[in-house]
Chains A and B, each alone.
Chain A
Amino acid sequence: MSPMSVFSRRSALAAAGAVGVSAAAAASAAAAPAATEPSPTKSAAHPERDPQRTDLVAEATLLATYDAAIAAHPSLEGKLAPMRADHAAHLHALAAMIRSAAPKPEGAGHWPTGAAALAALVAAEKSAAADRATACVAAARDRAPVLASISASEAVHVAVLTNDA
């Protein structure tokens, strides 16, 4: 028997399993939700009342903050562009999750210096990471991994923005 591959097989298994969990959870939640799980979400019927609506709006606001920071201080674009792209992907995933169009908030924020803009982004990312983690713990099982990954991504952003690499 050949030795077990370091992750190339296992992580694929885990990733496939996570997708399987989502499908299974969605299917069984409709029939008989487990006592320990939150009620299945009725996102298609009422996207405006969906518990992840808050996360969607928060991500849209964060993306707009990045756009405002880059517009005000174009020299930051090289540093910020990859993280802005992450948030665009987060927004897309959350919009798909609750089957709702992403809102388009105005990019607010007027920072006199690039350092001030970065400080604002650090504060926003810290809150976002904590809020997505809280949302993850309360969320339906099929949504939890996406929210967990978004929270982890934002925790990494805090470190990158503060040069804790």
Chain B
Amino acid sequence: MTTTLDGLKVALSAEEAAVWAYPLVGAKVSTGYQSVVAKAHGVHQMRVAELSGRLAALRADVPDPAAAYSLPFPVTNSASAIKLAVHLEDGVSAGWRYLVAAAETAELRRYAVAQLAACALQSMRWRGRAHLTLTQAFPGT
């Protein structure tokens, strides 16, 4: 049976990847989006702290983040940086959706549902900037 600990670790690793990759978005995205990127980066950092704290409170090991990640496609300009941001928000959405199923308390499931919606909202905003279809029927899948 998948447990709260598994779910917290999956959500944490997804958020850590976003924390690692958002600066790459910031390096290539046009100047008009810098404050958006900074804010998003901060949100992901806060979630890493929250998830690490929850794992520590359960006396679980907090796994170290991966040292480096490979990108799904080259990020060479503002358009590809925006596409990466969509990819990141969809990735964290999948992590939170996983935690929804894994959570063993109503409180944790409620928290995961709220975070999934927040990530879906961010994905939609980047989708708009990428001129993609804004909405998804099943965020996190």
Contact = CB atoms under 8 A, between A and B. Distances in A.
Binding partners A and B: yes
A157 B135 contact: yes
A160 B135 contact: yes
Interface stretch (B26-34, B47-55, B61-69): B61-69
A100 interface: no
Of the four ranges (under 10, 10 to 19, 20 to 34, 35 or more), the interface on chain B belongs to 35 or more
A125 to B, nearest CB: 11
B81 interface: no
A153 interface: yes
Interface in B105-138: 105-106, 109-110, 112-114, 116-117, 119-121, 124-125, 128, 133-138
B84 to A, nearest CB: 8
Interface residues of A, number: 51
A83 B140 contact: no
Interface in A59-92: 82-83, 85-86, 89-90
B124 A11 contact: no
Nearest to B10: A14
Given A11-B14, A151-B117, A156 B139 contact: yes
Contact of B138 (A4, A11, A153, A159): A153
A18 B98 contact: yes
B82 interface: no
A10 B14 contact: yes
Interface string B75-114: 0000000001001101101110110111011100110111
Given A17-B2, A155-B121, A165-B125, A82 B66 contact: no
Contacts of B88: 6-7
B138 A165 contact: no
A7 B91 contact: yes
Contacts of A6: 17, 20-21, 69-72, 84, 87-88, 91
B101 A22 contact: yes
A129 B10 contact: no
B43 to A, nearest CB: 16
A20 B2 CA distance: 9
Contact of A34 (B104, B128, B133): B104
A18 B1 CA distance: 11
B80 to A, nearest CB: 13
A28 B133 contact: no
**6 cross-chain pairs, A with B, having the tightest CB-CB distances, nearest first:** A7-B91, A89-B137, A11-B94, A149-B138, A3-B68, A152-B120
